[in-house]
Chains A and B, each alone.
Chain A
Amino acid sequence: MTNMKSLWRDRRFWQIAGQLLAVFLAVAIVTILWGNLNRNLQQLGIQFGFDFLKQQASFDIGETLITYKPTDTYSRALWVGLVNSLRIAVTGIFLTTIVGISAGIARLSDNWLVRNIALVYVEIFRNTPLLLQLLFWYFAVFLGFPKVESKISLWGLVYLSQNGIQFPWFTLSPEFSALLLGLTFYTGAFIAEIVRGGIQSVPKGQWEAARSLGLKPGLVMRLVIFPQALRVIIPPLTSQYLNLTKNSSLAIAIGYPDIYFVASTTFNQTGRAVEVILLIMLTYLTLSLTISIVMNLFNRTVQIKER
């Protein structure tokens, strides 16, 4: 009896019980939903299953990094989409970091013009919808270029036309370019604010101390201020990387065949709404968790090590 009493009062018991209850509830809810789904599908005469992935896709994809032809399976098509998504996410994260950090530092520049150009950039790109910006890049910028016959030459190295950006050794399609620039500048504006906040969070004494050592302003930033600002910058920066990756699904609006796009087509041709949505969820969850984990590891290396 006394045993029971002490159990009721034990904090650990309640912690574990709470966890168990939460798991039970979650499983129960999902089971009910699942049963309901199955029942409804059955009544509609639709079988749940992923066999359709082995069927021939028979639609073509405009941009592929891995080999693909319409006779390949839906799963191959989805791989093509995933690779395209990764391509945009990786290059996007790389570019947006450069844009964001530059704009963030520029926001604190002593030069009036630089400071205000950065301010206008940040405010415009942060305060308009991304979809609108993507359509702007696509229709106003890239489709505004001349036809391929009368392409614009930049120093004879890079050519701009309605077919995209042509480098000597490869070409970027207008769909990819519009999406990449759209995501880069949109996310970059948010990162700029994060970087500015991070830098401003470093105590003034650090600036003064660094300068008193005789360091030039560039070195002060690089060696003293920025490393300390990173502690504040990285967690919200992770969110922005996640946003960029997830927002890349807006590719569907401007015709870039990313994973969401290919999955939509697959869903459309097969009518497998539930299965395809599950696949999309799993894919983005995996992508997001991967970015999270990498960034958390990175975060750990820049935090102050208490000795």
Chain B
Amino acid sequence: MTTEATEATGTTGEAAERLSGGPRPRRTVRRTRAGVPVPLLLPALGGFAFLVLPLVALLLRAPWSGLSEQLTSAAVWQALRLSLITATAATAVALVLGVPLAWVLARARFPGRGLVRALVTLPLVLPPVVGGVALLLALGRNGVVGRWLDSAFGITLPFTTTGVVVAEAFVAMPFLVISVEGTLRAADPRYEEAATTLGASRFTAFRRVTLPLIAPGVAAGAVLAWARALGEFGATITFAGNFPGRTQTMPLSVYLALQSDPAAAIALSLVLLAVSVTVLAGLRDRWMAAS
């Protein structure tokens, strides 16, 4: 929110009006003191309330008195630990695979690039449960690739912690790719070209010039991907199932707790909320630098 900016434009607007020869008979929209037009202010407030009210309700209804015993239960920490580990691993996978992919999409010229980009961003708009089903049919024990993985290496992904990471990475990677690709497009390619004319190989130029240049964008994308992975529910429960300590992440345990012990569900939600807020606050500076 840049209130100062709107204030400034508001006052200059009024000043301009006063300078341009007194009050002319024309209809103006009433403005508040801050210079925000009323027709914009009301929906803006409504939108803000709509986004914040549920979180406020969560805080208001939280079982504060019994919270300590809820949160010290081993099951909560088990789920939280699993969530943090898998979300971080999924982000690492997304970085290793996603940054090169973003570079190819932004810098390489090849036919069908638009189609490739569309396919890469598809998991962004795909309902997570559908993603889980697709993963199951591809990498499940009986899946297109999974069958071969199973017979050749004895690797089965569903119902394992690795399966959780796979499901989360599938859903979260597009965020990173889009973010990094946008940064690359905005970055000046001449620096890379200069490096290559000075004798650096293309890969060295990427490593020593491009990567430092786009680091804020990569960080922003990684945070987005991490947050998305942390909240992943649909693909996880479909592909990796639900087993405490192995595949039961925080969102799964919140969902389950809501059916048997609502107070525990609220407590778990608070933990997730706190983690998300902490991460956002901690990375705000990089966030701003990236935008």
Whether both chains belong to one complex is answered with no
